Structure 1
Amino acid sequence: MSDEMDSIEEARDIMISALAQSMVIYGVTPSVGRIYGVLYFSTEPMTLDQIKDQVAMSKGSVSNGMRELLETDMVTKVWKKGERKDHYVADKDYLRNFLTFFVNKIRQERNLIMKGTEQAQPKLEKILRESSDDQVRAEAENDLNLIKNSHQYFDWTTSLANAMESGEIFDFLPKPKKDKGETP
């Protein structure tokens, strides 16, 4: 390999490492980040075996990481004519990846809290109705108010997720313009 190609590989390794580290901020493991980074800089669809060799991980770990990336739509499985193995490509649109990731997280958060509310609220309402202890009733009423106040936050985040999903958010925060010659 030429010195120039070695330098390109070195630069890619630096960027793959940076991608992996930045994805940790969003709760993604460094190994999954490295898998994404390898696919991001690949000019051709890759098989699990090819990815495994690039990231020096077991095939099982690569397969698990790939499943996580597929679930978040950061990677797509593609068919390659004449080949039996699955091939994968990275979605190289950072903005779309960011929006998809956060919409999913916002919806997960809301679902978890709403399930908790469905279980906790009736208990607190029953205590508020039936308890003769003023202190207990005050505690139950306080907790109910906290739950009800949290709904404003979840309504707002749902509106944010909907605006992100529909693209309406770009009416307020326009997408950055692409440079000429930049790949999508």
Structure 2
Amino acid sequence: MEQAEGLPREQQDIVLKARKRVIESIGQNMDLYGINLSIGHLYGLLFFQNKPMTLDEMTEAMKMSKTSMSTGVRTLVDLKMVNKVWEKGARKDLYEVEMDWFQTFADFFSLKWRKAVEINMQALRKSRIELQELARTNPGQEELERLVEEDLAKINEAIRYYLWLDRFIEVLETGAIFDLVPKDLPQES
């Protein structure tokens, strides 16, 4: 973690303690994103850097293996929480945290929910077709017709939900969510 150099030791200790508290909190809450504690701590470390870091620098700061660090960084890059950056003269890859947490939230949940919508819609539509075909090819079987009708009602309600979720994802992806729920409100004191 970037040191608070140039400050008296007592002030440095307070700054570092405050940073560690935030990093620990970030790490503990990253399970919301499906991220383990150590990757959450890595994100917190990068959050307090004023310059991009290499994998070697992260490995040293976190006292973790380079393989674990590489996996952690790749996870954060895939989730658009960390960006790979270019710096003139740098021979190693550099990474920095995405500072726009609003965009990080929108990107993360858009990616996850979009995948869920696709998987579930495919299963729901296929099951709906199969049940409709079953009912069509077996007319006059009251128990079967009742079961198919009940299942189709449930499937159609699930499809209705995923169509809504798809529209919600679009609101996140386009940034229209911030028209509905503005980023800026009066500052907390």
TM-score range, shorter chain: 0.7 to 0.9
Q: How is 1:97-108 mapped onto 2 (pairs within 5 angstroms)?
A: 97-108=104-115
The 1:34–1:165 alpha-carbon spacing in structure 2 relative to 1, beyond 3 Å, is: same
* Equivalence for 2:165: 157
Aligned residue for 1:45, secondary structure, equals coil
Higher alpha-carbon deviation: 135-144 or 156-165: 135-144
Q: Please report how far the alpha carbon of residue 86 of structure 1 lies from its aligned counterpart in structure 2 after TM superposition.
A: 0.3
Find out whether 1:115 has 2:116 as its counterpart: no
Per-residue CA deviation, residues 116-146 of structure 1 (Å, 9 max, x unaligned), is 1243222212211123542233222211221
Moved more, 130-139 or 81-90: 130-139
Partners in 1 of 2:31 and 2:131 — Cα distance? 38
Please state how far the C-alpha of 1:42 moved relative to its aligned partner: 0.7
TM-score (norm: length of structure 1): 0.88
In the alignment, what sits opposite 2:90? 83
Alignment deviations for residues 94-132 of structure 1 (CA, whole Å, 9 cap, x no partner): 111111112112211101101212432222122111235
Correspondence for 1:142: 150
Tell me: CA distance 1:9–1:30, structure 2 relative to 1, closer, same or farther (3 Å): same
Q: Counterpart in 2 of 1:131?
A: 138
Which of 99, 103, 114 lines up with 1:96 in the alignment? 103
* Matched ranges for 1:157-176 at <5 A: 157-176=165-184
Query: Which structure 2 segments of 5+ residues have no match?
Result: none
CA-to-aligned-CA distance 1:55-87 (integer Å, 9 cap, x gap): 222211111111111111111111222221101
Question: Which one-letter code corresponds to 1:122 in the other structure?
Answer: I
Q: CA RMSD in A?
A: 1.9
Partners of 1:127 and 1:137 within 8 A in 2: no
| Aligned-pair identity (%) | 34
- Is residue 124–residue 159 contact of structure 2 (8 Å, CA) maintained in 1? no
SS at match of 1:76: strand
- Kindly provide the amino acid, as one letter, of the partner of residue 100 in structure 1: D
Task: Identify the residue that residue 15 of structure 2 maps to in structure 1.
Answer: 8
CA distance in 1, matches of 2:183, 2:159: 30
Write the letter of the residue equivalent to 1:141: E
Structure 1: give runs of 5+ residues left out of the alignment: 180-184
Whether contact under 8 Å (1:12, 1:41) holds in the other structure is yes
Amino acid at match of 2:166: T
Q: Please say if 1:30 is aligned against 2:37.
A: yes
Superposed displacement of residue 3, structure 1:
2.9
1:25 aligned counterpart, secondary structure: helix
Aligned counterparts of 2:138 and 2:183: Cα–Cα separation in 1:
55
The answer as to 2:35 corresponding to 1:41 is no
